[in-house]
Amino acid sequence: MARIIFDAMALLHVRGFDIHSGYLALPEQERVVADLRACLSRAPLFQPVTPRGKPMSVRMSAAGDYGWISDPRGYRYEPHHPSGVTWPPIPERILKIWRDLVPEARLPECCLINWYGEAAKMGLHQDSDEADMTQPVVSVSLGDEALFRMGNPTRGGKTESIWLRSGDVVVMAGDARRAYHGIDRVRPNSSTLLPKGGRINLTLRVVT
């Protein structure tokens, strides 16, 4: 059973995950959302399916040189949206988060944009499709709160969970870079950032 952590600190270190609580103030969250709307006007959200053909509960898009694709051909990064257009550039405002928190890392080549409705979740998984696993992953939460579960480098064993709030940023580096993690559930109507509700999660990654 997972141990659930409730935290009011600015920075929490759990299993190698650095959780920056309240990193983005509300006005900056609003500006990031406006930037994302411009991205999604060019590369709209789509619903990916697993290699076995099961629709995922999240909707997805991306910005940068690559986007992450899941379909019957498998999991992979591609330079084009399923519609055939290239992905929009990663907004400078979002790149600033990366530069501030992981200044030693290479610049990200992908900003994955996941939208969670109230019933959406993400099972425990590793981010392992990138070529250079020494580079961090930076995750930004916007909108409704979500229960984030942190596991181990292998499946099984004890896990710990924390409610991520709008404006929280998680850095996965070192041992946490290979750790299993996921979203168990979303708390509907816990934020007013997005007019129609839901949660946006951004994950910045170095792909090559």
Please give the average per-residue pLDDT across 2-7, as a whole number.
44
**The pLDDT of residue 107 is above 80:** yes
* Rounded distance between C-alpha atoms, residue 95 and residue 13, angstroms: 23
Q: CA-CA-CA-CA torsion for 23, 16, 94, 164, nearest 10 degrees?
A: -50
pLDDT at 4 over 80: no
The β-bridge partners of 67 are 78
Domain range for 131 = 3-205
48-to-75, 82, 90, 161 alpha-carbon distances in Å: 10, 10, 21, 26
pLDDT surpasses 90 at 74 = no
Domain containing residue 37: CATH number: 2.60.120.590
Q: How many domains does the chain have?
A: 1
